[in-house]
Structure 1
Amino acid sequence: MRRWGSGRSGTVLYARARARLNAGIACALLTLSAAACGPSAASDAPGDGKGRPAPRTGFSVRYEPPSAPDKANAAFLRGRRVLEQASGDLNAFVSSERLGQAVAVVGRSCGGEGSAYDPGARRIEICYDDVAQERELFEGAGVRPADSEVAAVLAETFFHEAGHALADILGLDLGDRAEEDAADQFAALMLIRGGPAGERQLRVAAREYELSAAGDAGTGPADEGGRDEHSSDLVRATNHLCYLYGADPVRNAGLPGKGLLTAERAGRCGEEWRGVREAWQERLASVAAPSDRSDRSD
């Protein structure tokens, strides 16, 4: 069993997913209680839903207690309600009943491992320490305060990991690099569906990739075959800008010919965006919410 990461933190891990799988097998063999076998404990903090049964389907949010260095980061993530808003948008787009699976969305201290989807536990982990890393990146570029920028990147990260979760649940056979690109495209789809506010968040996410590339942060370690699973940061940034322009060339008229998106590439962005949107609509046809079968970005 493997673990997929967003690539922002530069770390994709396998060991923890394997450890969880082994722990689950051990729990089953020993017929221990579900509480003992659970992936993690819920926070004691108010509003975490402790004591309430977890939803049987759909994406639901909870928070683990932060480590001491992450207390401010955790408070930011909870206060901005990034995960609640993004999960709500996703649950409105993908029918929980049709999906038939529950995916936990967990805020937690990761110790630098990076936000990721864990297929063994079927959960998306968004790291408190990512808040500090993104803030440092934007403030280093002169953006102060960077609260909105940090929240935008975390929203894009969540939707990227949700793309992995859906690929896992639906059994999509995409291959590593293709799935990473598809997850990026799913993040773009969900943010563009949010209208001008979501488009702004996608622009910020593209800017984050550009800043990361400029700082020589890279896109993560090599995989077991010696190659990185993600496209380069600059490619990911340019793709997001292309999807933005392709979805609404009037509202995003200032993108071509400045920075990463060339005028030549911009001429193909409408077709590229339609291909991205239609591919995910086809993949999600069996689980799309009945009231939301058409894409609002048309």
Structure 2
Amino acid sequence: MPRPLALVGLAFTLMISTSRADTGSPIRTAYQVPKTAQAQEIYREMRARRVLEGLREIVSMVRLPQTLTLRLSECDGEINAWYEPKTRSVTVCYEYIQDVRDRAYRATLPAGVTYHDALFGTLAQVFLHETGHALFDLLDVPVLGREEDAADQFAALVVLRLRPAQARQIIAGSSILFTSFGAEDKLEKNTFADDHGLFYQRLYNLLCLAYGSDQRAFSYLVERGDLPKERAENCRDEYGLAAHAMDRLFHSHLQGGRMGRERIRRGFRWLN
């Protein structure tokens, strides 16, 4: 989610709790035991909720040619989340989760959106975004355009296979985060050179995919002005193109040839 920082040679000197899917799927989960008290609180909550195991449940629908590690880690103060091709690992920092918590506390939440939504909805989107990068790499999936945009689309399309109420929870949380970061975007020349889109652009792309997927379930986005009507007019087509591309690109890699909705829902039980 945040623009990636150069974290080279990060040493995991503390004990790491790891597990492997009982099915033999080449997906490992790793919760690094942190040093700081603040991070230890997050570590305990994420383990108790089995957040990484839930993500593994979703990713295990894909036949992976190599082992993928899903990791929560303390990152020496860096607020970040990333995929590392050399180690084939997705890492989300405890510092990043703490930053999301802080932003959720500070945010003015719209009616019907809770702190819980703002925190865990955001984390669901972040985990899926980084996992999208991992799958593009491990499966050699062609990406036309910016990979960061494609990872955002992957995350949104997985979320939109949930029941509308749960999808709304994640989208609401992600909107809080995009809005928070968007308020900090500096419209300087170098900002436009970043491989990430501006946060408000990413927000509207997400809302458009949601509305395009189910105009009845997400009609409120247009009714209350979250999604401009001018953009909403083409959202059904935008969603159709993205969903078709994802189905075509991932079809041959999926167990049974499809991304099962019930399995995705089981993978997100930790949201409740």
Coarse TM-score class (shorter-chain normalised): 0.7 to 0.9
CA–CA separation in structure 2 for the residues paired with 1:287 and 1:264: 37
Indicate the larger mover: 274-283 or 233-242.
Answer: 274-283
User: What whole-Å deviation, never above 9, does each CA across 1:183-211 have from its counterpart, x for those lacking one?
Assistant: 00000011111222133212321231012
Structure exhibiting the larger radius of gyration computed from Cα positions? 1
CA–CA separation in structure 2 for the residues paired with 1:185 and 1:58: 24
The 3-state SS of whatever aligns with 1:61 is strand
| Cα separation, partners in 2 of 1:59 and 1:194, compared to 1, 3 Å | farther
Matched, 1:83 2:52: yes
* Aligned residue identity for 1:160: H
Matched, 1:101 2:69: no
The 3-state SS of whatever aligns with 1:106 is strand
Matched, 1:146 2:115: yes
1:286 Cα deviation (Å)? 2.0
Pairing 1:1-298 to 2, within 5 Å after superposition: 6-7=1-2, 11-14=3-6, 16=8, 19=9, 40=12, 43=15, 48-49=17-18, 57-68=25-36, 69-92=38-61, 94=62, 98-110=63-75, 111-143=77-109, 146-174=115-143, 178-196=146-164, 197-214=166-183, 216=184, 227-290=193-256, 292=258
| Cα separation, partners in 2 of 1:133 and 1:246, compared to 1, 3 Å | same
Is the 2:65–2:138 Cα contact (8 Å) retained in structure 1?
A: no
CA–CA separation in structure 1 for the residues paired with 2:32 and 2:155: 24
* Aligned residue identity for 1:124: V
RMSD: 3.1
How many residues of Structure 1 are paired with residues of Structure 2 in the alignment?
256
CA–CA separation in structure 2 for the residues paired with 1:156 and 1:104: 18
CA–CA separation in structure 1 for the residues paired with 2:102 and 2:93: 15
1:235 Cα deviation (Å)? 0.6
1:91 Cα deviation (Å)? 1.7
* Aligned residue identity for 2:120: A
Is the 1:116–1:125 Cα contact (8 Å) retained in structure 2?
A: yes
Percent of paired sites with the same residue: 26
| Cα separation, partners in 2 of 1:119 and 1:170, compared to 1, 3 Å | same
Is the 1:73–1:129 Cα contact (8 Å) retained in structure 2?
A: no
CA–CA separation in structure 2 for the residues paired with 1:281 and 1:127: 31
CA–CA separation in structure 2 for the residues paired with 1:291 and 1:42: 40
1:57 Cα deviation (Å)? 4.2
Is the 1:218–1:233 Cα contact (8 Å) retained in structure 2?
A: no
CA–CA separation in structure 2 for the residues paired with 1:185 and 1:218: 24
| Cα separation, partners in 2 of 1:138 and 1:152, compared to 1, 3 Å | same
What TM-score results when the alignment is normalised by the length of structure 1? Answer: 0.75
User: What whole-Å deviation, never above 9, does each CA across 1:2-43 have from its counterpart, x for those lacking one?
Assistant: xxxx32xxx413451xx48xxxxxxxxxxxxxxxxxx85783
| Cα separation, partners in 2 of 1:155 and 1:275, compared to 1, 3 Å | same
Give the unaligned 5+ runs of structure 1: 1-5, 21-38
| Cα separation, partners in 2 of 1:227 and 1:202, compared to 1, 3 Å | same
CA–CA separation in structure 2 for the residues paired with 1:141 and 1:53: 37
Indicate the larger mover: 75-84 or 275-284.
Answer: 75-84
The 3-state SS of whatever aligns with 1:99 is coil
1:263 Cα deviation (Å)? 0.9
CA–CA separation in structure 2 for the residues paired with 1:180 and 1:141: 25
* Aligned residue identity for 2:155: A
| Cα separation, partners in 2 of 1:258 and 1:40, compared to 1, 3 Å | same
Indicate the larger mover: 166-175 or 199-208.
Answer: 166-175
1:218 Cα deviation (Å)? 6.2
CA–CA separation in structure 2 for the residues paired with 1:121 and 1:63: 16
Is the 1:42–1:63 Cα contact (8 Å) retained in structure 2?
A: no
